[in-house]
């Protein structure tokens, strides 16, 4: 579907961002004011009018897609909490950013779930980690931590048990030069005070009702569980967090009527590793290896989003050189290879979920291994590449590829890099995709299991902030590489894969087309690499600063990752010289937000389909829970 | 076990029976069976799980070493590979799963996270290593460990099993008269609670009720002050001392070690410079604050 075919245009919804802001200001002079802090953009909305104005932004101005909603704690700089919303038009273009502020005590901001369902999990996260209350939210429970946890950990004055200092490097390490184990200072690894009235007995209660009590299932578990009372064939089924088809430690609580799912509640946080809190202690550079561990299938893509965000901030300052052409070409190549890895993995495990246990995976991970060999030889690690830097890369391609783990005397695994790449891109990967299609696309069982299952309509996909193949499988041709292009994508020739049906099969088809498009991009990258051979990957020929100082401001860098839109919201609160640590570091994780419509997609299907639907969304827990 | 090994026992085998009968100890036979049919649990936690899957998949294929298939239920598994970050929220089901595994059972901590918290150790929801709750048999370092490293760790576990003997009751507790005690399952309260610490927590809560200073739990401001104090103490000590500190003076360098000493020297100089810079910045800040 091409972009011109999208609904007839209203006048306001094709205005530029400045015009849109001007419109808002003239319509609501007392509720909307421009955000004129240095390096910030967008508007600040008076929170009492937030819902009305959000409706105007969505309906009149046409910003129908809420990409990210997150909170920032400005302790010491205004002493308020702030919700930041990034909205986009699905027809493409830059973001309209709006914010709402509230006091730190009794923090309260009206919920936007009634406007964008996609705000659901993100507001729950803001409640959980920042302690902002959202009146109007249908199910405001903690989402990453458990109910009953003490405090809201992302607040600036909340300190973790192993807290040492606000920012790294810790003085004791550098320049102090002492390394100690955190346990020596805090033997219990806790920073909690137990209230005098703590009821240990209740905590030990493991009855069914207590287990589901904190979930907000919308059903009366006790009634269902109580066999003697009301006669019913409804049943609560728990799947996970230990379950082979939840792709990690994800948990779903289903209410089923016979075999049919009546409601589904995703429960997450079992892999919540405090990425953002740690990220705010780290220096900017320090965060790159941590981003690898978000979506650990495609670490190159994660690196890319983060460096884009920080580069956006750095470009506000004086001493900044944008990456060279060769650097950009290498970045795109790595990212597209990751996308191939990601989709092969996703399709393989989706087949696992619909019953083809592990055999197809074995075919697809074979090609993945070759790509990982390449990553290992270039970046030093198979999975955690830690490859990109601000304004550059860790290193250029080596002349010859050797498997790092077989360095000595390995004549078998020693290739000329360009030859290896040419072969891989022109022959091996296309061959794998052909094989995959031959086995699956017309496969009767695959079609039977997936056509018409897990349907997400176009309107819902947009309203629920779905991203990536999930969004494009529902007929929305929204790909950030085209909608708000970055790097050298504008000059590359490729199509946005899109399917209209919105079911599991459509998502599979989108992934297969994207595999082909990635190969198409890679084929265009090869001559560019050859043409730039020998050029530096750094603008001034030498690596960038080890600890860059980043100017004051905010930035939202986003990329189209294998799983969908991966965004990084970074706030730098530096003074004149800039800051060396991010003040706020937030990851808009596609795997997390794509789970929001899981409930409506599963309703009415069988339990066995739920597993497949989850597989077709393609989540990875490192990113879901962060 | 190779045929040859089977024949190498302390009992003489008549020549005509060689290669027809084998004499071995019961322990050896028993361990041979166990070590070569270790079924891991199909259980992945985080990034390391991906490498674990790669180890099980076509290229590395741990079935070759007797780890045959991964079983999704703990009741059929001999080995728990803790492949990834153990969070406070997840450790509860993990301990429960461990309790459901039949004896003999083994735990392999795969990667930095499972061994000691790894890169996420300082996180508020992260447990600093699986061994805080379960007995771990083998630790495999790496982030993530390569499939080769994991295989090596698994073979190390096999060697450990080889060393066990059914003659020794400590090696094989699962043959004891009473069944093994299950590991107490932690509880999620205001923070994670190890039931073994219940008494202590009760006392803490009582102390808090009586407004006594709390014991055991960390008092944050005091600890921060402590860290700050020790940092300033360090800084002043270094600033007051002559450029080379005591340790380096006592160290008599052999003449041949010049490059090493040079490197050390440079490091030391950089350290001192950084300290001086830091002190300067601090004074500037203080002055600026005063002016305001
Ligand atoms: S050790 Fe590294 S790779 Fe493994 S789970 Fe931890 S962060 Fe991930």
For the stretch A150-159, pLDDT in tens is 888 888 888 8
- Say if CB A475 and CB A500 are below 8 A apart: yes
Q: What is the pLDDT of residue A18?
A: 83
Cis peptide before B104 (omega within 30 of 0): yes
Nearest to A271 among B45, B119, B189 (CB): B45
Question: Domain holding A287: CATH number?
Answer: 1.10.645.10
The 3-state DSSP class for residue B82 equals: strand
Q: How far apart are the first and last CA of chain B?
A: 80
Q: What is the DSSP string of A59-118?
A: HTS---EEEEEEEEEETTTTSEEEEEEEEE-TT---PEEEEEEEESTT-B----TTT-TT
Examine the fold and report which residue of A88, A105, A130 is the final residue of a domain before the chain moves on.
A130
Q: How far apart (Å, rounded) are the C-alpha atoms in residues A462 and B268? A: 58
Q: How far apart (Å, rounded) are the C-alpha atoms in residues B24 and A146? A: 54
**Could you tell me if residue A431 is inside a domain?**
yes
> Which residues of chain A lie closer than 8 angstroms to B128, CB-CB?
182-183, 189
> Which residues of chain A lie closer than 8 angstroms to B62, CB-CB?
none
Examine the fold and report which residue of A95, A130, A165 is the final residue of a domain before the chain moves on.
A130
Judge whether B165 is closer than 8 Å to chain A, CB to CB.
Answer: no
What pLDDT digit, counting tens, does each position of A24-65 carry? 888 888 888 888 888 888 888 888 888 888 888 888 888 889
Q: What is the DSSP letter of A8?
A: P
* Residue nearest (by alpha carbon) to ligand 1 atom 8: B47
**Atom in ligand 1 nearest the alpha carbon of residue A622:** 8
When pLDDT is averaged across residues A477-500 and rounded to a whole number, the result is: 89
Cα A278–Cα A88–Cα A566 angle in degrees, nearest 5: 35
A588 φ, ψ to 5°? -90, 105
Q: Say if the Cβ atoms of B122 and A278 lie within 8 Å.
A: yes
* Sequence-separated contacts (24+) of A600-606 with Cβ below 8 Å: A600/A456, A600/A460, A600/A464, A601/A454, A601/A455, A601/A456, A602/A254, A602/A261, A602/A264, A602/A454, A603/A261, A603/A262, A603/A263, A603/A264, A604/A260, A604/A261, A605/A260, A605/A261, A605/A453, A605/A454, A606/A259, A606/A260, A606/A261
Q: Which residues pair with A585 in a beta bridge?
A: A570
Q: What is the pLDDT of residue A231?
A: 52
Q: How far apart (Å, rounded) are the C-alpha atoms in residues A526 and A74? A: 46
The alpha-helical segments, DSSP class H, found in A473-555 are 480-483, 504-531
Q: Label residue A176 by pLDDT band (50, 70, 90).
A: confident
pLDDT higher for A401 or A98? A98
Q: How far apart (Å, rounded) are the C-alpha atoms in residues A202 and A530? A: 67
**Could you tell me if residue A147 is inside a domain?**
no
**Could you tell me if residue A366 is inside a domain?**
yes
Pick the range with the lowest mean pLDDT from A281-290, A323-332, B226-235: B226-235
Phi-psi region of B118 (alpha: psi -120 to 50; beta: other; left: phi over 0): left
Pick the range with the lowest mean pLDDT from A351-355, A494-498, B26-30, B267-271: B267-271
Dist. CA A209 → ligand 1 center (Å): 35
The 3-state DSSP class for residue B63 equals: helix
**Could you tell me if residue A175 is inside a domain?**
no
**Atom in ligand 1 nearest the alpha carbon of residue B48:** 4
The 3-state DSSP class for residue A588 equals: strand
**Could you tell me if residue A379 is inside a domain?**
yes
When pLDDT is averaged across residues A399-403 and rounded to a whole number, the result is: 77
Q: Which residues pair with A370 in a beta bridge?
A: none
Examine the fold and report which residue of A113, A130, A147 is the final residue of a domain before the chain moves on.
A130
Q: Label residue A406 by pLDDT band (50, 70, 90).
A: low
Q: Say if the Cβ atoms of A241 and B234 lie within 8 Å.
A: no
Domains of chain B and any CATH numbers: 1-189 (3.40.50.12280), 194-249 (no CATH)
**Could you tell me if residue A226 is inside a domain?**
no
Q: What is the pLDDT of residue B188?
A: 81
Is residue A10 over pLDDT 80?
no
Global confidence as pTM: 0.83
How many angstroms separate the Cα of A72 from the Cα of each of A39, A100, A137, A312?
A: 16, 10, 19, 19
Q: How far apart (Å, rounded) are the C-alpha atoms in residues A312 and A302? A: 16
> pLDDT over 70 for what percent of chain A?
91
pLDDT higher for A194 or B37? B37
Q: What is the DSSP string of A297-364?
A: T-HHHHHHHHHHHHHHHHTTSSS--PPPHHHHHHHHHHHHHHHHHHHHHHHHHHHHHTT--SHHHHHH
ipTM attached to this prediction: 0.85
Domain hosting A112: range is 2-130
Question: Domain holding A121: CATH number?
Answer: 3.30.460.80
Q: Say if the Cβ atoms of B191 and A289 lie within 8 Å.
A: no
Q: Say if the Cβ atoms of A270 and B189 lie within 8 Å.
A: no
Q: Which residues pair with A96 in a beta bridge?
A: A87
CA distance B51 to chain A (A): 8
* Residue nearest (by alpha carbon) to ligand 1 atom 5: B84
The residues in B 25-84 lying below 8 A from A, measured between CB atoms, are 42-47, 49-51, 53-54, 57-59, 72, 84
Pocket test for ligand 1, best of A270, A288, A290, A293 (most atoms within 8 A of CB): A293
Q: Say if the Cβ atoms of B218 and A149 lie within 8 Å.
A: no
**Could you tell me if residue A243 is inside a domain?**
no
Q: What is the pLDDT of residue A412?
A: 63
With a CB cutoff of 8 Å and minimum separation 6, the contacts of A463 are: A64, A116, A117, A118
Mutate to test the interface with A, among B51, B124, B203, B229 (most CBs of A within 10 A): B124
When pLDDT is averaged across residues A71-98 and rounded to a whole number, the result is: 88
Q: Say if the Cβ atoms of B87 and A272 lie within 8 Å.
A: yes
Judge whether A546 is closer than 8 Å to chain B, CB to CB.
Answer: no
Q: Which residues pair with A559 in a beta bridge?
A: A566
Cα A587–Cα A590–Cα A594 angle in degrees, nearest 5: 135
Mean pLDDT across chain A: 84
Nearest to B220 among A191, A244, A296 (CB): A191
Q: How far apart are the first and last CA of chain A?
A: 34
Q: What is the pLDDT of residue A221?
A: 59
- Say if CB A308 and CB A328 are below 8 A apart: no
How many angstroms separate the Cα of B10 from the Cα of each of B25, B33, B203?
A: 10, 21, 61
The residue assigned the tokens 């578990």 is: A221
pLDDT higher for A245 or B132? B132
> pLDDT over 90 for what percent of chain A?
15
A432 closest CA partner among A530, A504, A519: A519
Is residue A174 over pLDDT 80?
no
Three-state helix/strand/coil letters over A215-270: CCCCCCHHHHHCCCCCCCCEEEEEECCCCCCCCCCCEEEEEEECCEEEEEEEECCC
**Could you tell me if residue A222 is inside a domain?**
no
Q: Label residue A240 by pLDDT band (50, 70, 90).
A: confident
Number of residues in chain B: 292
Is residue A335 over pLDDT 90?
yes
Q: Which residues pair with A565 in a beta bridge?
A: A560
**Count of beta carbons in the 10 Å neighbourhood of residue A596:** 23
A39 closest CA partner among A588, A586, A584: A584
Q: What is the DSSP string of B146-173?
A: PHHHHHHHHHHHHHHHHT--TT-TTT-G
Is residue A458 over pLDDT 70?
yes
Strand pairing of A96-103 and A80-88?
Answer: antiparallel
Q: What is the pLDDT of residue A1?
A: 42
User: Which pair of tokens denotes residue A6?
Assistant: 């999208």
Pick the range with the lowest mean pLDDT from A17-21, A83-87, B22-26: B22-26
The alpha-helical segments, DSSP class H, found in chain B are 3-7, 26-35, 47-56, 88-100, 111-116, 147-162, 198-209, 220-240, 246-250, 258-291
When pLDDT is averaged across residues A419-444 and rounded to a whole number, the result is: 89
Collect the ranges in chain B with pLDDT lower than 70: 1-11, 176-180, 212-263, 292
Q: What is the pLDDT of residue A222?
A: 58
Pick the range with the lowest mean pLDDT from A43-52, A139-148, A213-222, A617-626: A213-222
The 3-state DSSP class for residue B71 equals: strand
Cis peptide before A510 (omega within 30 of 0): no
Q: For chain A, what is the domain count? A: 2
When pLDDT is averaged across residues A595-599 and rounded to a whole number, the result is: 88
Nearest to B46 among A200, A204, A271 (CB): A271
Q: What is the DSSP string of A433-487?
A: HHHHHHHHTT-HHHHHHHTTSS---HHHHHHTT--THHHHTTT----HHHHS--T
Q: What is the pLDDT of residue A206?
A: 67
Element (H, E) at A17: helix A17-27
């Amino acid at each position: 579907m091409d972009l011109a075919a999208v609904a007839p245009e209203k006048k306001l919804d094709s205005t530029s961002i400045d015009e849109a802001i001007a419109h808002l200001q003239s319509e609501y002079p007392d509720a909307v004011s421009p955000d004129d802090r240095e390096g910030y953009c967008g508007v600040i909305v008076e929170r009492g009018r937030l819902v009305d104005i959000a409706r105007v932004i969505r309906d009149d101005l046409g910003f129908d897609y809420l990409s990210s909603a997150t909170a920032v704690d400005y302790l010491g700089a205004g002493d308020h909490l702030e919700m930041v919303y990034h909205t986009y038009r699905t027809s493409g273009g830059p973001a309209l950013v709006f914010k709402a502020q509230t006091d730190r005590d009794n923090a309260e901001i009206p919920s936007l779930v009634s406007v964008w369902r996609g705000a659901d999990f993100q507001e729950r996260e803001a409640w959980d980690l920042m302690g902002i209350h959202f009146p109007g939210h249908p199910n405001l429970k903690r989402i990453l931590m458990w109910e009953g946890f003490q405090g809201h950990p992302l607040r600036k004055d909340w300190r973790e048990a192993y807290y040492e200092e606000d920012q790294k490097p810790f003085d004791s390490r550098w320049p102090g030069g002492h390394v100690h184990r955190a346990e020596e200072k805090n033997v219990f690894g806790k920073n909690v005070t137990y209230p005098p009235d703590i009821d240990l007995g209740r905590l030990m209660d493991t009855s069914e009702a207590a287990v589901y009590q904190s979930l907000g299932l919308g059903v009366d578990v006790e009634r269902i569980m109580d066999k003697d009372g009301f006669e019913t064939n409804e049943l609560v089924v728990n799947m996970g967090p230990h379950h082979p088809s939840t792709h990690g430690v994800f948990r779903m609580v289903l209410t089923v009527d016979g075999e049919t799912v009546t409601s589904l509640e995703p429960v997450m946080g079992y892999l919540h590793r405090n990425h953002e809190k740690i990220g705010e202690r780290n220096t900017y550079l320090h965060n790159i290896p941590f981003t690898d561990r978000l979506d650990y299938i495609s670490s190159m893509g994660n690196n890319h989003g983060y460096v884009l965000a920080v580069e956006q901030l750095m470009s506000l300052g004086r001493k900044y050189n944008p990456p060279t052409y060769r650097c950009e070409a290498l970045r795109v190549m790595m990212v597209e290879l990751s996308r191939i890895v990601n989709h092969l993995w996703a399709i393989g495990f989706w087949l696992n979920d619909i019953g083809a246990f592990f055999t197809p995976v074995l075919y697809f991970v074979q090609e993945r291994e070759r790509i990982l060999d390449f990553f290992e030889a270039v970046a030093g690690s198979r999975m955690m590449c830690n490859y990109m830097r601000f304004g550059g890369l860790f290193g250029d391609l080596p002349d010859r590829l050797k498997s790092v783990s077989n360095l000595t005397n390995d004549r078998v695994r020693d290739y000329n890099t360009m030859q290896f790449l040419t072969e891989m891109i022109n022959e091996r990967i296309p061959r794998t995709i052909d094989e995959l299609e031959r086995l699956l696309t017309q496969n009767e069982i695959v079609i039977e299991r997936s056509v018409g299952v897990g349907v997400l309509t176009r309107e819902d996909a947009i309203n629920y902030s779905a991203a990536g193949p999930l969004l494009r499988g529902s007929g929305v041709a929204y790909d950030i590489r085209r909608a708000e292009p970055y790097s050298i994508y504008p000059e590359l020739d490729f199509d946005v894969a899109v399917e209209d049906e919105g079911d599991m099969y459509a998502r599979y088809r989108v992934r297969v087309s994207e595999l082909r498009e990635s190969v198409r991009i890679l084929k265009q990258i090869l001559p560019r690499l050859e043409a730039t051979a020998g050029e530096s990957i750094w603008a001034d020929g030498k690596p960038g600063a080890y600890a860059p100082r980043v100017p004051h401001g905010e930035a939202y860098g986003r990329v189209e990752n294998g799983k969908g839109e991966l965004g990084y919201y970074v706030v730098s609160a530096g003074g004149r010289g800039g800051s060396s640590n991010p003040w706020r570091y937030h990851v808009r994780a596609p795997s997390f937000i794509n789970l929001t419509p899981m409930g409506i997609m599963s309703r009415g299907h069988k339990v066995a389909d739920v597993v497949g639907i989850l597989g077709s969304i393609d989540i990875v827990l490192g990113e879901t829970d962060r | 076990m190779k045929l040859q090994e089977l024949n190498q026992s302390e009992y003489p085998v008549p020549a005509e029976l060689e290669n027809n009968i084998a004499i071995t100890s019961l322990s050896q036979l028993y361990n041979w069976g166990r070590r070569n049919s270790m079924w891991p649990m199909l259980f992945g936690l985080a990034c390391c799980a991906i490498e674990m899957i790669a180890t099980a998949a076509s290229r590395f294929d741990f079935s070759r070493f007797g780890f045959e298939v991964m079983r999704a239920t703990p009741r059929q598994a001999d080995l728990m590979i803790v492949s990834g970050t153990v969070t406070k929220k997840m450790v509860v089901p993990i301990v429960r799963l461990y309790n459901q595994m039949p004896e003999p059972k083994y735990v392999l901590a795969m990667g930095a996270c499972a061994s000691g918290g790894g890169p996420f150790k300082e996180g508020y929801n992260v447990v600093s290593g699986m061994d805080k709750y379960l007995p771990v048999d083998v630790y495999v370092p790496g982030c993530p460990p390569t499939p080769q490293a994991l295989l090596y760790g698994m073979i190390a576990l096999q060697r450990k099993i080889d060393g066990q003997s059914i003659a020794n009751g400590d090696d094989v507790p699962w043959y004891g008269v009473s069944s093994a005690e299950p590991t107490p399952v932690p509880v999620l309260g205001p923070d994670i609670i190890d039931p073994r610490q219940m008494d202590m927590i009760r006392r803490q809560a009582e102390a808090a009720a009586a407004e006594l200073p709390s014991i055991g739990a960390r008092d944050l401001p005091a600890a921060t002050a402590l860290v700050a104090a020790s940092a300033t103490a360090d800084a002043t000590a270094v600033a007051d001392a002559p450029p080379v500190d005591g340790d380096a003076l006592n160290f008599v360098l052999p003449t041949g070690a010049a490059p090493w000493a040079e490197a050390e020297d440079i490091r030391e100089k950089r350290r001192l410079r950084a300290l001086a810079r830091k002190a300067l910045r601090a004074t500037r800040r203080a002055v600026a604050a005063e002016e305001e």
